[in-house]
Amino acid sequence: MAVSESLVHHAEFRRLWTGDALGQFGAQLTGLALPVYAVQELAANEWQMGMLTAAETAAFLVIGLPAGAWVDRMRKRRVLVTSDLVRAGVLAVVVSAAVSGHASVPMLIVAGLVISVASVFFDVAHQSYVPGLVGLEHIVEGNSKLQATQSVAAVAAPAVGGLLLKVITAPALIGVNVLTYLASSFAVWRIRHVEAPPHPSTHRPLRTEIGEGLSFVVHQPILRRIVATTGLANFANAMSNAVLVIYALRVLDLGTGAWGTVVSASAIGGLVGAVGAGRLAERVGEARLVPLSMLAAVPATALTPLAWVLPFPPALVLIVGGATFSFTVVLYNVAQVSFRQRVCPPALLGRMNASVRFIVWGTMPIGGLLGGWLGTHLGVQATLWIAVAVTAVSALPVLISPLLRMRDLPTAPAVATDAVRNP
């Protein structure tokens, strides 16, 4: 494919894009239905919701590092297909248990743990697969399209899900995700791009290969700052998410339909961010986009606990805060993920991505557990304000850095120093 051609004309990328869209749509439905089901039907308390939040990302902390080395030894398409099938199977068990009346919060937590393991392999393989599939010259466009798809799913799925929850049960909505994961695995299976994984004779001790990925992340000054910010921000977000559904349904007294509308409308900001990320990067500079987007995220998160006290409809305040936060997150992710893919040697991509995920997602189960504990002992609103404070702290590594004085993020030869490129 010519460099100037859009990835819309790239048949293999279209298959990956289709599979990603199907999986994202279904996952958004489950992300809406599962906590609602736990809170409303299974009477989950703050601590149980914290455990459920932690379970959904626990594998990134437990097996995140070796997963990268394993993925670098595997055919990534096969990893993607298998991960989708595992997630579909686990959710099918959840739906069957709910229909038969045997579902419980502990069962949901176990299901979340298994799904998180599959998600580790899927996410590491997915981010490592894109550069080889489309070429380094197209990774920004590819990431923007995938982020846009995620944002569209985040807008459409909760809106549809909120309406459907008025007429069908939450387990039925989760069942839709089973079908979308199966369809996603089929779409990715149809990709004909042939990978050439390293020969087994080239494999070295797992500890050595893990160390290389982690060392690459730790010794790149700019990447190190981005990872620190992302890890702290995800920690804060997990704290908030642990009590967010309880806050919306019990404290603010929003119905499930209204909550679905809030989630859907909030995601519009992410869609706008994905569409405009390229133009903003050209005008502001890809490097500056990272700290500026984090700076804007702080007041956006504060609107969540303020929804209880401001003289406006709580749902409206949540939508404004959520849309602004989604907008900033997508801008941040498009810039930093493209930078990571561009700067890392192809043979190290899986381990590098796994190392980053280990750090930035590994904080989330800890944040979820802490959010559940704080919610139990200090209350839901106090927990949300603590999460806002941690979000503010998370912005510091990229704000107090050369990034604000730079325009472009450096490529591989220049990333080893904190040298500043003048705009």
Q: Over the stretch 231-266, which tens digit does the pLDDT of each residue have?
A: 999 999 999 999 999 999 999 999 887 888 888 788
Q: What is the pLDDT of residue 201?
A: 61
In a domain, 423, yes or no: no
Q: What is the pLDDT of residue 110?
A: 94
Domain total of the chain: 1
Q: Over the stretch 3-28, which tens digit does the pLDDT of each residue have?
A: 556 777 778 888 888 888 888 888 88
Share of the chain above pLDDT 70, in %: 91
Q: Is the distance from CB of 273 to CB of 154 less than 8 angstroms?
A: no
In a domain, 294, yes or no: yes
Structural domain span for residue 57: 9-191+208-414
In a domain, 420, yes or no: no
Helix, coil or strand: residue 94: helix
CA dist list (Å): 300 to 43, 83, 296, 391: 30, 34, 7, 10
Q: Which of the residue ranges 1-5, 100-104, 173-177, 290-294 would you say has the lowest mean pLDDT?
A: 1-5
Q: What is the pLDDT of residue 387?
A: 97
In a domain, 407, yes or no: yes
Q: In this model, does residue 422 exceed pLDDT 60?
A: no
Mean pLDDT score, 107-112: 93
> How far apart, in Å, do the first and last CA atoms of the chain sit?
32
Mean pLDDT score, 105-127: 87
* Nearest one of 178, 165, 184 to 32, comparing CA atoms: 165
* Nearest one of 221, 2, 334 to 342, comparing CA atoms: 334
Mean pLDDT score, 59-68: 81
**Any residues with CB less than 8 A from the CB of 401 and at least 6 apart, and which?**
222, 225, 291, 418
345 C-beta neighbours (distance < 10 Å), count: 10
- Chain centre distance of CA 347: 24
State the average pLDDT for the chain.
Answer: 84
- The whole-angstrom separation of Cα 228 and Cα 143 is 21
pLDDT category of residue 413 using cuts at 50, 70 and 90? very low
Q: Is the distance from CB of 342 to CB of 287 less than 8 angstroms?
A: no
Q: Is the distance from CB of 325 to CB of 266 less than 8 angstroms?
A: yes
In a domain, 344, yes or no: yes
370 C-beta neighbours (distance < 10 Å), count: 20
CA dist list (Å): 153 to 29, 209, 270: 9, 36, 10
The tokens for 397 are 């590594």
- The whole-angstrom separation of Cα 349 and Cα 284 is 28
**Any residues with CB less than 8 A from the CB of 377 and at least 6 apart, and which?**
none
- The whole-angstrom separation of Cα 335 and Cα 353 is 15
In a domain, 77, yes or no: yes
* Nearest one of 419, 399, 397, 395 to 409, comparing CA atoms: 419
In a domain, 295, yes or no: yes
In a domain, 422, yes or no: no
**What's the CATH code of the domain at 340?**
1.20.1250.20
Q: In this model, does residue 124 exceed pLDDT 60?
A: yes
CA dist list (Å): 101 to 41, 44, 96: 11, 16, 9
